Structure 1
């Protein structure tokens, strides 16, 4: 039977989310954020958490309603049809699949600064922030390891990932403790007589470009693995929200520890000039914390590998979901009859990973691409969940969030602002990312003889206008965010917030009861029947 195996519990799903969030982001994020915003980078993580949590809560209700493999690439199609559904799915898939090579790159970059005499050969793995041919070879091997850890079974993946994630929590904890107690300089937080030496606009830019959005992107993993959850109605929201909150505590403490442990003499030219190959390991070496140095170099493989392994699993489910939506060849939707794993989809993603690896070669460049694509995929979650409350009133909702009428528009506004904070011309690359995927969409529409295309396209016009408007505002906006300063600082964000509300209302109103939603009713009904059986069993056991 061509179905996913439901074997993952709440803890395993939360470990999947946390394992995705704590990847290479913790190894580089604190340094990049401090480099952009100085000591005020601590606030960037809090702002990032608020943005992501609003988005994540919207997706949690959707994930509980439709516990499907690769759900993140399906939901918008249910509410707005194939055009917006494809754009959202494409952006989301690009954002997630590119994480796999970026994690391998992170491991190699840390490896390139090994301090031991016998490891001098590793110093030639990276040049000017880009992997050399030798570095690319090692990164390729790591990607293959991620692949084979997922090749046979979901159970193996879940067990391995839970163990890796526990290790990934211990190492950042040890790093925080060691740096705080051995070499903490409290004066660093007011160095230059300001907590925010580059202005508060830099704090906002750090949210979008330093790896914060990139790091928190892992909240999607439990949702995309919902097809394998034992009790999705309970497990998904707990796993999503829990992983985001735990990760926020870890990342904020890491940021504090990083800022405080930098030698004040390194700040003579300002935070912008901090330069590290392996940030936390370099600090540990400077403070002579040898045991921590070894742990950090070990974790430079474990943390990214855990995330790479997780994303290898989730991206395969995303391609599986896109094929079920009619966007990909039928062969990519085939599951292995014994292991229940979409192996053809895994091979396809493996090929794409190698394209990204050899095309970009550097952690920073690829992380920016991920951030842009991620933000585009985020905007559809709040719209979809509120549209379905109107067009899908009959649907069974195991989780109905109170206050979502406020949370959803706030999530849309926050995602729009964060996209703007990413700075021009990075924001302009969004259009290019969308254009790459459109030929695929039109090809499959032509194969289906443009069935329902006109209605689906009308329901998606808002997104085309929204993306063009965001790029225009980014170009004309404040110089603090890379624009030409026609729209001054402050007014730019007010304009975006107001326009976002207009686009939000337009987008929710554009949704309709699509043919895809009618098909999704089957999954929703199975969820309702399953929960009813569980309730009946619980009552029977209680009576006994």
Structure 2
């Protein structure tokens, strides 16, 4: 198999970080945090970097396809492994409806019938929902016939997605930007730390950086992993921080206070350009705003089908989930994913609502990285590592706390959804695999359920002004440190972990042949 270069790996990660997020997050973040959105982007980048470091080491120890979602199944019980794998799979399911929704929402700039706009709260209309559904059906059908090999075209697409937004942002700032537009604006929130933190998930900032995982998944396919892995983390995060901050600065300095209401939340970038009569740039933004998200959706449709296929092979080896069609595609898995994706599209018709839930779910499943890092370094110090994180305990605990804060900032409603979803997954596992032993399932997963339930309780108490800001965040940090210690010490027996590591090595060997 041809090895990926470091440059290709960096572009895989960077391309994954520049999906629909750049179309909405800079503007929505500005609405939530005002000028503090730059601080929001900086905090998000730093926390993502810490989290990425933990995965960088573990990914080289356990180099399996979809490994980021399977780490907890190695270090902990089969119950917890199933729960994290399912939660990670669900987080990928949401990408298809999210990117379809993004494309339709931007089309709403030209076709208003596709969206409903009530006082700046944009959602898909009935026609928009049907259009998004058509896109989901088409992409699912397409992937049953054809499995794209994106590595050949990814470099050009990623470079386009990096440079076009940057050129537009800095071109606008240099030509039309005026500091007084920002400092004299009465439509932006005053600088305060609480909205700075809330913007991180509620405005899609955390979602925008979640693509850092793509490079790590393929890290072991590079010719020089020791060099490629840190570059695949640092470079995309830095590029993403520069790009997203630049777009936020563009809105700050180019949008006059008296015209703030004229920029429609349906398609913020197009709205801003229209104020300056730059209609000739529309065609470029049309490609980025509609075609690029659909390309991202196509990739995630294919990947999510393979994730469900892996879930089937590990937990349901003789089920329909393991079947491939004549094109060697997991057609049944693809259609199941699409049907479940519709379930997310309907209750979350707005981009911000859908991305908020997705951010919390993705970052919840990422807790496996910090936990696996600490356990594997402590219990298996001689395990081969192509990349080693310094101060692994400190890094692991900080990364777990980062996940906890990301999840907490997603809001009370999403935390409640997470609690319900986790309990539902536990019930499903108990029903299928432990019919007469539900108590054992709870004993092996209670700390995950209780942890998220406590975060929900803190958020609820904060919403009722019983716990003030920033005391609620301090409490989340303390609770996260405590539960990280519980996760680390509730690991599976050492012999069982060793056996699973050997099983993964055989799986990798079979994949390579």
TM-score normalized with structure 1 length: 0.84
User: Are 1:69 and 1:227, in contact at CA under 8 Å, matched by a contact in 2?
Assistant: no
| CA distance 1:527–1:325, shift in 2 (3 Å) | closer
- Residue number among 94, 103, 109 corresponding to 2:105 in the alignment: 109
| Alpha-carbon shift at residue 379 of structure 1 (Å) | 2.5
| Alpha-carbon shift at residue 123 of structure 1 (Å) | 1.8
| CA distance 1:334–1:225, shift in 2 (3 Å) | farther
| CA distance 1:250–1:148, shift in 2 (3 Å) | farther
- Residue number among 356, 368, 377 corresponding to 1:368 in the alignment: 356
- Encode CA deviations 1:410-460: one digit per residue, 9 max, x unaligned: 11112222322233233222212213323331233137x869x94x75453
- Encode CA deviations 1:248-301: one digit per residue, 9 max, x unaligned: 22111111112211122135x9xxx97421001110010112222221122111
User: Are 1:15 and 1:161, in contact at CA under 8 Å, matched by a contact in 2?
Assistant: yes
Is 2:484 aligned against 1:504? yes
Is 2:135 aligned against 1:142? yes
- Residue number among 400, 421, 424 corresponding to 1:412 in the alignment: 400
Match of 2:87 in 1: 91
Match of 2:379 in 1: 391
User: Are 2:363 and 2:406, in contact at CA under 8 Å, matched by a contact in 1?
Assistant: yes
User: Are 1:427 and 1:471, in contact at CA under 8 Å, matched by a contact in 2?
Assistant: yes
Is 2:409 aligned against 1:421? yes
Structure 1 spans left out of the alignment, 5+ residues: 115-121, 478-482, 532-544
Instruction: Give me the whole-angstrom Cα distance separating, in 2, the residues matched to 1:89 and 1:209.
Output: 25
| CA distance 1:237–1:65, shift in 2 (3 Å) | farther
Match of 2:291 in 1: 302
Is 2:245 aligned against 1:252? yes
User: Are 1:68 and 1:226, in contact at CA under 8 Å, matched by a contact in 2?
Assistant: no
Match of 2:208 in 1: 215
- Residue number among 489, 502, 512 corresponding to 1:521 in the alignment: 502
Instruction: Give me the whole-angstrom Cα distance separating, in 2, the residues matched to 1:174 and 1:351.
Output: 39
- Residue number among 26, 29, 32 corresponding to 1:33 in the alignment: 29
TM-score normalized with structure 2 length: 0.88
| Equivalent position SS for 2:383 | coil
The farther-off stretch of 133-142 and 219-228 is: 219-228
User: Are 2:31 and 2:188, in contact at CA under 8 Å, matched by a contact in 1?
Assistant: no
Q: How does 1:52-91 map to 2 (within 5 A)?
A: 52-91=48-87
| Equivalent position SS for 2:235 | helix
Instruction: Give me the whole-angstrom Cα distance separating, in 1, the residues matched to 2:412 and 2:322.
Output: 38
- Residue number among 429, 435, 444 corresponding to 2:432 in the alignment: 444
| Alpha-carbon shift at residue 233 of structure 1 (Å) | 6.2
| Equivalent position SS for 1:68 | coil
| CA distance 1:198–1:106, shift in 2 (3 Å) | same
Match of 1:462 in 2: 447
The farther-off stretch of 127-136 and 244-253 is: 127-136
| Equivalent position SS for 2:259 | helix
User: Are 1:72 and 1:318, in contact at CA under 8 Å, matched by a contact in 2?
Assistant: no
| Equivalent position SS for 2:315 | coil
| CA distance 1:528–1:69, shift in 2 (3 Å) | closer
| Alpha-carbon shift at residue 528 of structure 1 (Å) | 10
- Encode CA deviations 1:123-169: one digit per residue, 9 max, x unaligned: 21112323234323432343345446655666623224333222212
Is 2:311 aligned against 1:322? yes
Structure 2 spans left out of the alignment, 5+ residues: none
User: Are 1:107 and 1:304, in contact at CA under 8 Å, matched by a contact in 2?
Assistant: yes
| Equivalent position SS for 1:277 | coil
Is 2:321 aligned against 1:332? yes
Instruction: Give me the whole-angstrom Cα distance separating, in 2, the residues matched to 1:364 and 1:206.
Output: 11
Match of 2:456 in 1: 471
| Alpha-carbon shift at residue 496 of structure 1 (Å) | 1.8
The farther-off stretch of 423-432 and 520-529 is: 520-529
Instruction: Give me the whole-angstrom Cα distance separating, in 1, the residues matched to 2:307 and 2:510.
Output: 25
Match of 1:243 in 2: 236
Match of 2:271 in 1: 282
User: Are 1:8 and 1:228, in contact at CA under 8 Å, matched by a contact in 2?
Assistant: yes
